[in-house]
Amino acid sequence: MNVERVYASGLCTQCGTCVALCPRSAIAMEWDLRKGYGLQVDVERCNNCGTCGAVCPGEGLDYTPQAWWRRENGDAPSVDVLGPWRQLWFGWASDETTRYLGASGGLVTAILQGALQTGVIDKAVVCRLDPARPLKAEPVMATTPDEVAVCRGSKYNVVPMNLLLRRVIEEPGRYALVGLPCHITGFRLAREHNAALRERVVFTVGLFCGRTATPRGTQVEMRRARLNPADVTRVSYRGPGWPGSLRLETRDGAVRTAELSAYFDRFDRGYRLLRCRLCADALADLADISVGDAWLERFDGTPGVSDLVIRTPAGERLIDALAPGRLTLLPATPGEVIASQAETIAVKRDVYRGRMWLRSLARRPLPYNPGIRLEPSLGDRLEGVKDLAKEAYGLWEAVRYR
Distance CA 378, CA 400 (A): 33
Do 143 and 121 form a contact (C-beta atoms < 8 A)? no
The pLDDT tens digits of the residues spanning 387-398 come to 999 888 887 877
Q: Given this model, what pLDDT does residue 82 score?
A: 96
Residue 343: C-alpha distances to residues 208, 309, 348, 390 (Å): 12, 18, 9, 16
Which band of pLDDT confidence, cut at 50, 70 and 90, is reported for residue 335?
A: very high
Q: To which H or E segment does residue 310 belong? A: strand 306-310
- In single-letter form, the type of residue at position 9 comes to S
- Average pLDDT (320-347) is 95
Q: Are strands 175-179 and 201-207 parallel, antiparallel or unpaired?
A: parallel
Asked whether the CA dihedral 54, 58, 280, 38 is positive or negative, the reply is: positive
The pLDDT tens digits of the residues spanning 293-314 come to 999 999 999 999 999 999 999 9
The three-class DSSP label of residue 290 is strand
Q: To which H or E segment does residue 27 belong? A: strand 27-32
The pLDDT tens digits of the residues spanning 64-87 come to 999 999 998 888 999 999 999 999
Q: Given this model, what pLDDT does residue 1 score?
A: 67
Does 324 sit behind a cis peptide bond, omega within 30 degrees of 0 on the bond before it? yes
* Per-residue DSSP letter, 174: -
- First CA to last CA distance, the chain: 37
The pLDDT tens digits of the residues spanning 192-204 come to 999 999 999 999 9
Between 123 and 213, the more confident residue is: 123
Q: Where are the alpha helices (DSSP H) in 63-180?
A: 96-101, 107-117, 145-150, 165-170
Q: Given this model, what pLDDT does residue 159 score?
A: 97
Q: Given this model, what pLDDT does residue 336 score?
A: 98
CA angle, corner 96, sides to 94 and 102, nearest 5?
Answer: 90
Distance CA 80, CA 254 (A): 46
Q: Given this model, what pLDDT does residue 138 score?
A: 97
Phi-psi map region of 14: left, alpha, beta (phi>0 left; psi -120 to 50 alpha): left
Asked whether the CA dihedral 118, 119, 123, 124 is positive or negative, the reply is: negative
The pLDDT tens digits of the residues spanning 86-112 come to 999 999 999 999 999 998 999 999 999
Mean pLDDT of the chain: 94
* Per-residue DSSP letter, 350: I
Q: What is the pTM of this model?
A: 0.96
Indicate whether 11 pLDDT > 70: yes
Indicate whether 263 pLDDT > 90: no
Q: Given this model, what pLDDT does residue 326 score?
A: 96
Q: Minimal CA–CA distance to 364: which of 2, 3, 122, 6? A: 6
Beta-bridge partners for 236: 247
Q: Given this model, what pLDDT does residue 391 score?
A: 87
Q: To which H or E segment does residue 245 belong? A: strand 245-250
Task: Name, in order, each residue with C-beta under 8 angstroms of 354's C-beta and a sequence gap of 6 or more.
Answer: 376, 380, 381, 382, 383, 384, 385, 386, 387
- Average pLDDT (276-293) is 97
